[in-house]
Amino acid sequence: METIVRKQFQLWPKQKKWRIVVSVILAFIFILLLASTFLFWFIQRSEPQIEGTLTIDGLKGEVVVYRDSSGVPHIEAQNQDDLFLAQGFVTAQDRIFQMDLSRRQASGMLSEVVGKQALDRDKFFRTLGLRRAAEKSYEVYSPEAKQALASYAKGVNLFIEQAKKDKKLPIEFTILGYEPSSWSEIDSLTIGKYMAFDLGGHWEGQAFRHYLLENFPQDKALELFPGYPKDGARVLQAINETDIDISKSFANAVIPNEWNGSNNWVVSGEKSESGFPLLADDPHLGLATPAIWYETHLKSPEINVSGVIFAGIPAIILGRNEHISWGVTNVGPDVQDLYIEKRNPENRQEFLNNDKWEKAEVVSEKIKIKGEETIDYEVLITRHGPIVSEFAHYGEAESALSMRWTALDPSTELEAVLMFSKAGNWEEFKEALTYFHTPAQNFVFADQDGTIAYRANGLIPIRKKGDSMVPVPGWTDEYEWEGFIPWEELPTIVNPEEGFISTANNKVVQDDYPYHITHTWAQPYRAQRIRDVLNSKEKLTVEDMQNLQFDHANLQAEEFVPIFLNELKKGKLREMDEVAITELESWDFLDSTDAAGPMIFHFWMEEISNLMFLEEIPKEMMKLFDGRAQVVDELLRDAINGNPGIWITEKGGLQNVLEKSLQNAVDRASKLQGENPSNWQWGQLHAVQFTHPLSSVTPLNYLFNAGKPLPMRGSRITVGAAGWDSETGEVEHGASWRSVVDMENPLQSYNVVGPGQSGHVTSDWYKNQMNDWVTGKYHVTSMNGEYKEEAFKLVLQPMNKE
């Protein structure tokens, strides 16, 4: 039959054949356009209503929502309950899929919608029990805070109900084949607990050092420690006597990004051009679409506050009101301890406590899995906390690791956040901080009266013995916590003579501070660069603050490159390596997009680390190596000073390590950008796209990742933070929120949210701030009503309005 048709077609006149071909092509194009139009319509129909009037059940009075040109909602309500109800409704309009995914991740409920590939992740978070901790926390909140949570949840649910009814849920729900369930107060608090997890507490470092002691000679293992553990002999002996397989226990653990942190600083009026304090804040977290932050302005008779919050939580956590402004960075204290628990060989649910077997609490969890049967999962909770070493397997080991963590106790951060909005001075703000327990944060503060202040705030444990270096014996009382650093003794600075206060996750206390905070401070380069710039001028401006937030000077390269190059003069290099060195010699130590130097240097530093460790330490264990960059820096400094340690000596000494790692770095770069180092450009590799959670599945990346990746300056250790995936070069970490406030006029601030406000792919605000984020530009967010002139206006009116 096919042959007959082909012969008949060949007999037709050419003109007729051409007409048929054209008709087929046109028909195909028409069908494609029709399908594209339908797809666009189907996706766009979920965009929220932002103009006109909506009737909302549960409102006491009318609420007006103005969305300005940057997509920032300005919510004006006649009372606080309506304000938070409207905030929940409006946030859900823009971010409901993100909100649902966030609560599922934190609660260990992802498998229900994405399938079995998320099962280990779900088990991990069910084991930690962030949701259980949120439920305990809810019980200790004040009636006002509970009411705020309830109002917010009601607003979210009103949106969900409306979207389901009108069949206007975002396209992501259709793709995954489910609808969001009702929102609850516990959902909001669970997301808050997840942020405490994401900002860490260094448990993975304890597990890693346990692994080192299991697998390497003690002197070699200790070289990768930030110091020798207190009570070392006994603790090390306890570790050596355990039968816990760390590589098996934590290979699938979820580890927060080690670069999670922030910059913030505050400048006094005496040092500013306006004569009023300047405050700058840019927290560093994962970069994605939608942004982790949601910018909002909230106004009622009780509140007038603007800033950002995590989608799914009421109020404003970072921002300003009419009188004050504040920002945070992560302190990063040791607030997580692993305890070695001895198990009863006759009963796996019992653990030794001072010579007696004590039954652990057993929590039965049911984990739903898309397309498969629900599984039963058991969590054991000792007196210290959950057994975390068995979430990925049920072993027969006689020992296990439990985790004690401040965030698993009841805490009241939302109480503090609500009080921030109403504080009018430092004393009132400091009083609010008494309710902020976890994660511990470096707060900087400024008010219109001229006060600038700093405080490292949160619950930081005091230990009877040990200092959170390694897991400790859990079968005695010797290593228990005995309270927390007294609130009045937490590091605090008010109106320093220097005229500014700055933090960048660096060490914030002197050596004589009487309490242990952490072993793992961030590398000092961002902190030093901030200080250098703030000291460089007598009077500073808003523009100076913005430029500093985007600064890309690389002080690590400035420290090491001259020393490395001098060391290499002793050896003989390949021709291509010599060309690479020429590029480094002329490099200005700025991580610019069009320079070769940044790529050569960053690859070189990574290859130094890889050369020393990857042959001996499995990749899945390297992700537990907390403070790896700092350890490598110290190993290099020691070797430079004539004291090479075991890891460098075994690799042939410093010169050999530098030569071989440079070769590896150059080979790696040449595969990506050709064999001429003079043509290499950092920005060709180091680029940002703000990827969507579903974009890992082709062809969804074409739908959700609008546009090409944009070249991005900076790096992990520059003030303008831009961390990247070492394998792909994708910039995936940095300051998705940058904000600068001049207290001369706190009713406005200069901000950017990368990549934009909306979670709807067809929205004008989906990635409208992406170019601004990459080029260091800002928009102005006002609280004085100026936004009303050109804003979209939506009126939310109560159901019973006549």
pLDDT over 70 percentage in the chain: 92
Q: What is the helix (H) or strand (E) element at residue 581, kind and residue range? A: helix 575-585
Question: Which residues share a beta bridge with 202?
Answer: none
Question: From CA 84, how far away is CA 71, in angstroms rounded?
Answer: 19
pLDDT at 476: 95
308 CB-side CA count, 13 A: 25
326-349: pLDDT as tens digits: 999 999 999 999 999 999 999 999
pLDDT of 30 > 60? The answer is no
pLDDT at 397: 76
pLDDT of 484 > 80? The answer is yes
- Label residue 702 by pLDDT band (50, 70, 90): confident
527-560: pLDDT as tens digits: 999 999 999 999 999 999 999 999 999 999 999 9
- Label residue 44 by pLDDT band (50, 70, 90): confident
What architecture is the 261-294+319-334+410-468+479-549 domain classified under in CATH? 4-Layer Sandwich (3.60)
Convert 157-212 into a string of H (helix), E (strand) and C (coil).
HHHHHHHHHHCCCCHHHHHHCCCCCCCCHHHHHHHHHHHHHHCCCCHHHHHHHHHH
Phi/psi for 573 (5° steps) reads -115, 160
Average pLDDT, the chain: 93
pLDDT at 17: 56
Question: From CA 308, how far away is CA 737, in angstroms rounded?
Answer: 8
Report CA Rg, the chain. 28
363-382: pLDDT as tens digits: 999 999 999 999 999 999 99
- Give the pairing of strands 492-494 and 452-457: antiparallel
64-117: pLDDT as tens digits: 999 999 999 999 999 999 999 999 999 999 999 999 999 999 999 999 999 999
